[in-house]
Amino acid sequence: MAAATIYLDYNATTPVRPVAADAVARALCLVGNPSSVHGFGRQARRRIEDAREAVADWLGAPAAGVIFTSGGTEANALALAGCGRSRVLVSAIEHPSVLNAVLPGRRRELIPVDGDGVVDLSALEALLADSDEPALVALMLANNETGVVQPVAAAAAIAHAHGALLHCDAVQAAGKLAIDVAALGADSLSLSAHKLGGPQGVGVLVLADPDAPLEPLLGGGGQERRRRSGTENLPGIAGFAAALEAVRDEAPMAVRLRELRDRLEGAIKRVAPDVIVFGAQAPRLPNTSCLALPGMTAQTAVMALDLAGIAISAGSACSSGKVAPSHVLTAMGAGPLAASAIRVSLGWASVDADVERFVEAFGGLVRQRADPGVASAMTLAKGRR
């Protein structure tokens, strides 16, 4: 398969920022286990503690509450399994790492969302009022498929009023929205470096209270204040910190991305007035557009766009390229339209020309829908430019 020329799949993973790649390369050349007491070890330890401070500072959280993990999936699993709560309430649109976290002997219940993909706070309140069992509520800050932003602070207030904890998966929001753990009222929050221009395979779980009880997932050497055993991924952590620095330096990026995304949506609606934009009435991440062209399956659209040199995802795909009905769109009541949903997501290296190329290729999809035989032949003939 030839490489796609235009990358519009930032919610799946972002291209690594050059400063992050540099930091990874430099850290790879360091010798020393961060737990060793000699000078090499101390140097490695200093790099990790600097990165911990950078993450904490960025999130307005205490450094001792920052636990480095292998990514967002592990951070979510640690939060849910380690919190010691017997009842876990998760919104119906959570990432599979939350929905499918392994929770032996715990009760898991779903909190519904409305047609715009926003969690139903009265349903949350009713679920919590239903039982005195100690609970954890998991609510993401922004959805990976639709970009819809959730009322986390309001949910945290409800959770706390019922003696529950709130975990927030902020993996997709990071780098696109400002995040302040205290303002959100989250007891724990997860991030992943590769969604904001850092390397894959590193993330954090952040605890608002660094001394909150947390049962580790792994037994071992007791690193990360006994909460996450295993030698720290120093190159990954250094790359993560460098990516955060870059995000901090580019505050206006969200404005530029929103402008690009809105231009894209405006243009495709002119080409196909029946196109549906999921979550359009709700607050959304500035970079994400989840669209359906009725009458064209997501699979066909993704393949045709790939042939035209544009990389996007089917609405549901965040893992192994699987094509399954999206649980997010299903929870929003999208029905059969969910099978047509594609996700376009922009990021730090996106430029105007990417949007223009997408809109042009989308025009090809619309023609293909009108006349499948002729248009697919055209798409094949054009191949990749």
Ligand X SMILES: Cc1ncc(COP(=O)(O)O)c(C=O)c1O
* Closer residue to ligand X, CB minimum distance, 91 or 192: 192
Q: Does the CA dihedral 171-173-176-182 come out positive or negative? A: negative
User: C-beta of 141: minimal distance to ligand X in Å?
Assistant: 8
Based on the shown chain and the rule CB under 6 A, indicate whether residue 71 belongs to the binding site for ligand X: yes
User: C-beta of 3: minimal distance to ligand X in Å?
Assistant: 21
User: C-beta of 378: minimal distance to ligand X in Å?
Assistant: 34
| The one among 47, 52, 95, 106 contacting ligand X by CB under 6 A | 95
* Closer residue to ligand X, CB minimum distance, 113 or 365: 113
User: C-beta of 14: minimal distance to ligand X in Å?
Assistant: 11
Which span sits near ligand X by CB under 6 A: 26-34, 71-79, 126-134, 152-160?
71-79
Token reading at 377: 């032949």
Based on the shown chain and the rule CB under 6 A, indicate whether residue 233 belongs to the binding site for ligand X: no
| The one among 34, 65, 72, 236 contacting ligand X by CB under 6 A | 72
Residues from 194 through 213 that contact ligand X (CB under 6 A) = 203
Based on the shown chain and the rule CB under 6 A, indicate whether residue 192 belongs to the binding site for ligand X: yes
Which span sits near ligand X by CB under 6 A: 58-66, 169-177, 269-277, 349-357?
169-177
In contact, 315 and 341? CB cutoff 8 Å: yes
| The one among 27, 101, 140, 264 contacting ligand X by CB under 6 A | 140
Distance (Å, whole) CA 79 – CA 230: 17
In contact, 182 and 60? CB cutoff 8 Å: yes
Residue of minimal CB distance from ligand X? 72
Which one-letter amino acid corresponds to residue 274?
A: D
| The one among 6, 164, 169, 313 contacting ligand X by CB under 6 A | 169
Which one-letter amino acid corresponds to residue 220?
A: G
The full length of the chain comes to 385
Three-state DSSP state, 312: coil
Token reading at 75: 């951070």
318 in active site? yes
324: closest CA among 298, 301, 306? 298
| The one among 139, 148, 171, 329 contacting ligand X by CB under 6 A | 171
* Closer residue to ligand X, CB minimum distance, 159 or 168: 168
Q: How many CB atoms lie within 10 A of CB 2?
A: 9
Distance (Å, whole) CA 42 – CA 48: 10
Token reading at 198: 């850092």
In contact, 328 and 316? CB cutoff 8 Å: yes
Distance (Å, whole) CA 347 – CA 195: 9
* Closer residue to ligand X, CB minimum distance, 76 or 340: 76
User: C-beta of 71: minimal distance to ligand X in Å?
Assistant: 3
Based on the shown chain and the rule CB under 6 A, indicate whether residue 65 belongs to the binding site for ligand X: no
Distance (Å, whole) CA 152 – CA 238: 29
Distance (Å, whole) CA 148 – CA 25: 35
Distance (Å, whole) CA 164 – CA 62: 21
Based on the shown chain and the rule CB under 6 A, indicate whether residue 67 belongs to the binding site for ligand X: no
* Closer residue to ligand X, CB minimum distance, 78 or 355: 78
Based on the shown chain and the rule CB under 6 A, indicate whether residue 97 belongs to the binding site for ligand X: yes
Q: Which residues are catalytic?
A: 318
Binding site for ligand X (CB under 6 A): 71-73, 76, 95, 97, 140, 144, 169, 171-172, 192, 203, 318
